[in-house]
Amino acid sequence: MPFWVARVACLALLLICGVARADDLADFNAAVESVSAHSRVAIGYLRTGNADLASLELDRLRDSWSRFSERFSGKRPAAFDGNGLYGKLFTAVDARLVGADIMLKTGRLDAARDALNSVRGDLYDLRKVSGVVVLADCVRDANATMDALMVYNDRALDWDNSEIRSGLGQKADSYGALLDRCDEIASATVREAPEFRRLVDGAKASLLLIPKAISTRDADLLHRVLIELRSFDNLLAFRYG
């Protein structure tokens, strides 16, 4: 076989393998999203105290996770090569789902919700170690930043303290930057969806009022803005986190 023919064949094989490995990650992410969709709904029912519907959704979640495990526990996408968390993921999530079921059946809805949120954390940690970026993880980062921003929801805020004013402004800027990042990460279909646009654009519009609250030292305005932002943030987590 001429050298150039062998070289072309080798390059073609590498290209095919590369596409296949990329498809493995895309399939993995899509399967995780299917699992996560059930988890988000179950968490929503647990948050509102609807144990019966939470139980039904938890059953669907366990079925979805079982199918996911059968497919991927022995088939690691190339993106997770060398990631020690991959093998641990399956036993950890199995245990958390059992725990969530026990907590739900004993009426401890908050504990069941914590168990499901921990599954979200397990997947977040796995992807972060391997540098895999998805919208759900960006939303989780935004949730954490929103938690830090809510510290300033205090009508007795000391506006004379320059560190408080600058800290509030920085946290608001950080949250806005994460919203921009989530907007960029989202698929075209999600990015153009009316629901996603309402939440992201609504939150960005609310953020524009924080500099005004700081300059006018208006604690009531800040309170209203932060409550509105928290609502947008919770809905982002419920739908896309």
Token duo for residue 92: 């950890």
Rounded CA-CA distance 142/239 in Å is 14
The single-letter code of the amino acid at 9 is: A
One domain for residues 14 and 119? yes
| Tens of each residue's pLDDT in the chain, 241 residues | 554 544 434 434 333 444 444 468 999 999 999 999 999 999 999 999 999 999 999 999 999 999 999 999 988 999 999 999 999 999 999 999 999 999 999 999 999 999 999 999 999 999 999 999 999 999 999 999 999 999 999 988 999 999 999 999 999 999 999 999 999 999 999 999 999 999 999 999 999 999 999 999 999 999 999 999 999 999 999 899 8
87 is in which domain, residue-wise? 3-132
The single-letter code of the amino acid at 28 is: F
Collect all residues with Cβ–Cβ distance below 8 Å to 36 and sequence separation of at least 6. 120, 123, 136, 241
| Amino acid 24: pLDDT | 87
| Amino acid 122: pLDDT | 94
Quick check: 164 and 157 in contact, CB under 8 A?
yes
Write the CATH number for 114. 1.20.120
> Which residue reads 């993995």 in tokens?
28
**pTM, entire model:** 0.80
Rounded CA-CA distance 23/104 in Å is 37
| Amino acid 126: pLDDT | 96
Collect all residues with Cβ–Cβ distance below 8 Å to 58 and sequence separation of at least 6. 38, 42, 97, 100, 101, 104, 112
End residue of a domain, out of 92, 112, 132: 132
End residue of a domain, out of 96, 116, 132: 132
| Amino acid 17: pLDDT | 42
End residue of a domain, out of 92, 111, 132: 132
Number of separate domains in the chain? 2
Quick check: 241 and 139 in contact, CB under 8 A?
yes
| Amino acid 20: pLDDT | 40
Rounded CA-CA distance 206/223 in Å is 11
Token duo for residue 138: 């960006």
Measuring CA to CA, which residue among 236, 166, 240 is closest to residue 206?
A: 236
